A and B are shown apart, each in its own frame.
Chain A
């Protein structure tokens, strides 16, 4: 994917700022081993197979795709929680893949993560105060009495009553727990937050509260988000730009409205049409593209265009064995250039 250059990627009018994060040709393979005494590598799970994108300061980049497409792995590999097999991750001018130990930890203060499951991502034996103070202790921020003030400030910012500080996670509802998780990420004043399905486990009315909170915090603290989710309606609501992933590849990347109004890759079109709109009159008139079959295994992905096994034109498909690269079809609108999958 070399046709992509940092300067020409999609920019919304408000967010023409500088690039904060730049990912180039990132691959994340997980080895599959076999053997009882000598572990031999027999195959690779190609969770992320060469993706490139930029995230600008202050924007929200949405990352959508179905389970197993590599969207969470992408988020973790950026934070170096998994070490990418190949490729570069450049954060504000520093190559993260070359950092380790204390150097990497310094950068982790600037990059935080919010997890999907508000039940398993909080230690049940730690009080809210301990959960939110721990990252402050690790990074040596806000010592002594300042730390208590910081804790109160954070709890207020995420909409929790500071008197809850001594309570434990089980005393809170799902939405409140997600606020604690957001507070923990926010405590160390990060620039960049990977939100990995932050609202998927919540009920709709609670989901709206958390989405609004994330938007408020973004403008209050100048945050940059990578928002990972499978629910395209939520992603479209919160994101400036959206990248669509399929089987470890980005198949389309565009501004949120452009992607909805003008989807160009066959997979994006199917994904959009599969999401029902909560309006019976609109919804019953909508045309629906039903994809056949399932996503192939990332252990043995199809050669060339990864979408070829589910492509509606697969019978007359003339795509070759070369892997499609992202091509800019409109300013800021990038599509994997498989001749069968692209609408012209």
Chain B
């Protein structure tokens, strides 16, 4: 498969009164055409900022992409003009947001909101775009789409609104779909409906999906590959099976062990990762996981910026940050 998106050494910083927040601090990864990649991590680890950086939606000030490059389909996204970027957003790269309640415009009908995108990007007229809107709503499983395009967002339930968001995102047949916590605000049975629709449509249309989530169950079910983020950096990257069956970084292992599983038959105490993620206003020297590492007392990893852990390939396609303490020894 050809590389669709290549992110290299991306650094997105926020310059605040408290200091510089290194929200994303040198991440490199790529996504192939038609692939589903998951970005996993806890709140504040930089997963959403990574996604917003791809679409160049970082509010400036205070935020700025200070380094690195993002190449999408041969195009250097950090150096195209604003007009070119607008032509890409919602067209070749589309996004689904977490909050289906707040990401739709309450004073426009659902039909108007879907038609806006297809009229703008595909140059359709009113009649064609209405037809397209009905087609899209039917595709995501909204009954009586002909009538429902005249309804306003408040007339839809949370799950239905998220379907509308998916319909809008897929309206221009994007190459890449970014889904930022697409089901976090939804109930589990609705979550299952939405994820199933997303998975089916993306495989039908051959869309690559970048899914951002903290739900490891969702990752296990849908992702081909996984990037685990911690404190603005990627600490482990590999196929879903590698990450779940053979996690190598101490953080990944901690994360896996702290989630109770439905199929656990005996009651064991949950493993925890003591402490909190670091504050990103301080520059992280050496391994970011160091303060929470269980081996910290006997830890002899370097604490200088020059020796920040780098991703090393320990088996084909499975990369781990090479902190000697955090990596499993075997």
Contact = CB atoms under 8 A, between A and B. Distances in A.
Contact of A282 (B219, B254, B263): B263
Interface string B227-260: 0000000000000110011000000001110111
A283 interface: yes
B187 A237 contact: no
A279 interface: yes
Nearest to A297: B157
A208 B221 contact: no
B196 interface: yes
Interface of A is mostly: helix
Interface stretch (A18-26, A116-124, A127-135, A268-276): A268-276
Interface residues of B, number: 45
B264 interface: yes
A17 B227 CA distance: 48
A276 B258 contact: no
A5 interface: no
Interface in A223-268: 230-234, 236-237, 257, 260
Nearest to A310: B189
A143 interface: no
A290 B193 contact: yes
B80 interface: no
A294 B193 CA distance: 10
B159 interface: yes
Interface residues of A, number: 44
A283 B222 CA distance: 9
Interface string B272-300: 11101000000000000000000000000
Contacts of B220: 276-280, 282-283
A276 B190 contact: no
A13 to B, nearest CB: 13
A294 B192 contact: no
A211 B159 CA distance: 29
Interface stretch (B12-20, B21-29, B210-218): B210-218
A209 interface: yes
A317 interface: no
Nearest to A68: B187
A274 B189 contact: yes
Given A294-B157, A294-B160, A204 B187 contact: no
Contact of B276 (A175, A270, A273, A281): A175
A264 B216 CA distance: 27
A203 B43 CA distance: 7
A66 B258 CA distance: 23
A279 B261 contact: yes
Contacts of B9: none
The 5 closest A-B pairs by CB, nearest first: A276-B217, A237-B260, A208-B258, A278-B216, A66-B187
Interface of A: 66-67, 173, 175, 203-209, 211-212, 215, 230-234, 236-237, 257, 260, 270-284, 288, 290-292, 294-295
Given A173-B276, A274-B188, A280-B223, 9 more contacts: A66-B189, A67-B187, A208-B258, A230-B187, A275-B217, A277-B217, A279-B261, A280-B241, A281-B244
20 contacts: A66-B187, A66-B189, A66-B190, A203-B214, A204-B42, A205-B42, A205-B255, A231-B188, A237-B267, A273-B192, A276-B217, A276-B220, A278-B216, A279-B261, A281-B244, A283-B217, A290-B193, A291-B192, A294-B159, A294-B160
